[in-house]
Structure 1
Amino acid sequence: MTSMPEATDSVPPPRRPVSPSSASSASPSSASSPAWLVVALACAGQFLVVLDVSVVNVALPSIRAELGMGAAGLQWVVNAYAISFAGFMLLGGRAGDLYGRKRMFLVGLALFTVASLAGGLARDDWQLLLARAVQGLGAAVLAPATLTIVTAAVPEGAARARAIATWTAVGAGGGAAGGLVGGVLVDLLSWRWVLLINVPVGAVVLAGALARLTESRAGDGRRLDLPGALLVTAGLATLAYGISRTEAEGWTAAAVLVPLAAGLALIALFLAVEARTAAPLMPLGLLRLRPVASANTAMFLTGSAMFCMWYFMTLYAQNALGYTPLGAGLALMPSSLAIVLGSKLAPRLMRTAGARTVAALGALVAAAGFGWQSTMTADGAYLTAIMLPGVLMMLGAGLSATPLAALATSGAAPGEAGLVSGLVNTSRTMGGSLGLAVLSTVAAARTDGRPTPEALTEGYALAFRTGTGVLLAAAALMLVWLPRRPATGAPVAEASSATEGSRTPVK
């Protein structure tokens, strides 16, 4: 288990005075609990959220066999969760600011746990997909609260950077451990336990959070933008559906063009609503800030490739190389350790090289791993076909995630902390869900319906080559656009006030 940072390790830099309306948010949420315990509980919630993005991957062949789902349906077992997660993330972040981070942590975790139980007991494919979508909604409420609780518990500076690194490492470890955990559960019990295992774990974390977390909120009187959340979620889901249909229909068919156009129209309508509402889900003024806009764009691009790694690697191991679910999980263990190592190394490198350099370095290391993985064959040896390229991919992912999160959230006012934290997770997961739809379509087009290991491997390899190009573009963008280091002031607060102050009622 990684050690938790202590709040006394560094002296925070001077900050602007906090207004009375946000005083409760500025004070540490750990007033009655040690910082390490608060960070531990928040990280446990984040671990569960990210674990369920990847834990079902090794169970997909078993799910297909029992519920009779096709390739497109299996993709939606992953994407129903990811799209709901991404689409409601900003709403979850704002809800935490308004109604309390502890309260939203508890609500999100409870919803996530109940949906996990429903998914584990599902008898039809639609029941499983519905449960996965509700899981994603619970995760969207829970995840922003975890990062906000961490940043509120630890003062700004080196100690907070280490706390964010721990949060990143635990979350990354959840994604990485999904393969192993899923493999063990599928082999020893059944695929249903990849969901049912969340029930006892969620109950324990709920009890700990109820007893040890202290409430904090912004208390600025703004309402939730539910229409905005519904529009962006529907837009993402419709876009992903349209992309997934290209495999069977081609890019020029009406069955593809109509949902693509509808998805783009819904997202355009979302932006129009955000520009006009008095209490936007995502104040568009935030995107004028260089740290916020550049870091979230980089998160989107890197997430679109990284999210797909576990999906394709577990399918490759089982469908092409003949690994069991447990064998596939064990095969990816070095990658799991690499992403944790990268997340823990990043803060040290940031102090000397700067956040921008470390983020770009991470993207380049990951691109090298993706390029290597794209040379896979249907009879590849473990060392060169899975382990070494996987280590490079996930080492790079760990190196880039911490500096990007630090840049995106630096200088956020207490009242905007949940919003900006939610935006970080939204960008990464939104990129991942659309990236999975695109790369799955790319892989399926190359496979062309041939179920042989050789044909499947050709499709997976093309997906990794495409991911290599995306990561190289992301690295170039980081070097050109990202600021060198996180801000220590509160530019996010100033920009947000400039865009909202004249139209948002204050209690």
Structure 2
Amino acid sequence: MSVVESARADADTGVGEGPVRLDGRLKVVLAVLLVAQFMLAVDFSILNVALPVIGDGLGFPLSNLQWIATSFALCAAGFTLLFGRVADLFGRRRLFLAGLAVLGLSSLAGGLATSPDMLIAARVFQGLATAAVTPAGLSLLTTSFPEGPLRQKALGLNGALMSAGFTTGAVLGGVLTDLLSWRWAFFINVPVALAVLLIAPTVIKEPRPTTRPKLDLPGATAVTLGLLALIHGLTQAGEHGWGSGPALGWLGAGVVLLIAFYAIESKTAEPLVPVSVLKRKTVAWGNAAGLIAFLTETGLVFLMTLYLQEVLDFSPLAAGLSFGVLGIGTVIGGSIAPRVIAATNTRTTLVAGGLLQAVATVALVGLGETSGSMWLLLIATFAGGVGNMLVIVGFMVTATTGLPDHEQGLATGLATMTQQIGITMGTPIMSAIAAVNTGIRAGITTAVVVNTAIVVLGTLTTALFLRTKAVHRGSRGVSAS
């Protein structure tokens, strides 16, 4: 039985009885897919520190500077579900390679940009490429490894590198901008994308689809426009406050369009997202846990960046380097998460990770106004990174378990959409909460308390509503549902 056939059989039975060791080809497949996902995660944060420098270099008006990040986030999150389903229908490998080619070319264009319009266009195409490559790469990962220990290990490494990539982006952006130029934050993608494009076709195999179902264009239009409106509304809330007209208008439009999307999917013969999938508790509550995990951690990184630069007066580079300990915590969390899942189950892992993240986050309320508090920040962010990664890996395993191969692109598209919406929501939500208070220090403290409350809420909903199957122990390994 081939690896793909084994994965399909496991998906039907829910039992992980596949091989527990990686052969040479699978190791290369895993490395190629992880490098691509790491690069995409880096892109989410690599320009954050460099925004003021880019604005000065290209003549961006201060009021439009945020569009360098927003244009990317809108496309990366808004089109993810659509591209995840396109990958199922027309080929994950093909979409993965095409998206990487677009990412490499748009990164080159961004590095060579001579005007604001050219840079924004490059960021739009980077976002579209990310929306295509991320779910296609994740579905290739889940269909290349059968449910059970191998898939849990692969998703654990993927989750660790995704989170570490976000932290690495903040550090790398500061280093490249200080030592070379902000343009290298774009150029660095080009050789990585080229290397993956050269290696991937030789090791990643996928059979051509035997049929070509129709793409649900009404559903695709409704969900894409709904997500774009929702994410744009969140960015408006971060800029103008949650009670502002633009924020409420865009958020309201997004909610209406997503309700329309659900109604369309309930009636169409070949839906973009079958309602039966959305009603699966593992899909629904797994994605809810993932949304909270990404929202709270990226929001906390923003708050601690604000604390380091505005309260402790750290430079952008020093602030970025301070998150290295958080990155180490996420790598460790991603490495141990598959073992925790195998020893217990995904629900226990999600709850344990959430509790650890909550305790670590609330500890940050004790930060003072001198650098003497750095020991607390480093310990808390390290522990929080471990806990957050337990949740992220638990979410990925939960949200993609029990679905057949032909729905893995959909499952990973939903999971990727969850990830990117969470990343996009974190900063504006925490920024708006922090801005309610008159003082920076008081605002950060309030936002940290709210961040902790959101983590606790996510942990409680997981404990109360998520149900997982018993742990399967077979002769060739251990698999947690």
TM class by shorter chain equals 0.7 to 0.9
CA contact (8 A) 1:342 1:398 kept: yes
Q: Does 1:114 align with 2:105?
A: yes
RMSD: 3.1
Q: Does 1:235 align with 2:226?
A: yes
1:481 maps to a residue whose letter is: F
Within the candidate set 427, 445, 452, 1:468 is matched to 452
Q: 1:329 to 1:355 in 2, by over 3 A?
A: same
Instruction: Give the deviation of 1:127 after TM superposition.
Output: 4.0
Partner SS, residue 181 of structure 2: coil
Q: 1:220 to 1:443 in 2, by over 3 A?
A: farther
2: distance between equivalents of 1:364 and 1:72?
39
Q: Does 1:306 align with 2:290?
A: no
The residue aligned with 1:60 is 51
The residue aligned with 2:378 is 387
1:347 maps to a residue whose letter is: P
Within the candidate set 388, 392, 402, 1:397 is matched to 388
2: distance between equivalents of 1:348 and 1:273?
41
The residue aligned with 1:168 is 159
Within the candidate set 451, 459, 467, 1:483 is matched to 467
Q: Does 1:85 align with 2:76?
A: yes
* Cα-to-partner distance string for 1:387-439 (whole Å, 9 max, x where unaligned): 12211221111111111111111111011011111111111222332333322
Structure 2 unaligned regions, length at least 5: 473-481
* Cα-to-partner distance string for 1:102-135 (whole Å, 9 max, x where unaligned): 1111111111222222333334445434432321
Runs (4 or more) in structure 1 with deviation over 6 Å come to 11-14
CA contact (8 A) 2:233 2:247 kept: yes
Instruction: Give the deviation of 1:17 after TM superposition.
Output: 7.7
Within the candidate set 186, 193, 197, 1:195 is matched to 186
Partner SS, residue 272 of structure 2: coil
Identity %: 34
The residue aligned with 1:42 is 33
Within the candidate set 142, 148, 151, 1:151 is matched to 142
The residue aligned with 2:286 is 295
Instruction: Give the deviation of 1:65 after TM superposition.
Output: 4.4
TM-score under structure 1 length normalisation = 0.82
TM-score under structure 2 length normalisation = 0.86
CA contact (8 A) 1:318 1:324 kept: yes
Instruction: Give the deviation of 1:297 after TM superposition.
Output: 1.4
Q: 1:363 to 1:60 in 2, by over 3 A?
A: farther
Structure 1 unaligned regions, length at least 5: 1-6, 19-26, 448-454, 489-507
2: distance between equivalents of 1:48 and 1:193?
14
Q: Does 1:178 align with 2:178?
A: no
The residue aligned with 1:332 is 323
Q: Does 1:358 align with 2:349?
A: yes
2: distance between equivalents of 1:422 and 1:225?
15
Partner SS, residue 57 of structure 1: coil
CA contact (8 A) 1:177 1:336 kept: yes
CA contact (8 A) 2:226 2:258 kept: yes
2: distance between equivalents of 1:414 and 1:271?
23
Q: 1:236 to 1:67 in 2, by over 3 A?
A: farther
1:406 maps to a residue whose letter is: V
1: distance between equivalents of 2:347 and 2:11?
25
Of residues 212-221 and 91-100 in structure 1, the stretch that sits farther from structure 2 once superposed is 212-221
Of residues 338-347 and 459-468 in structure 1, the stretch that sits farther from structure 2 once superposed is 459-468
The residue aligned with 1:370 is 361
CA contact (8 A) 1:102 1:216 kept: no
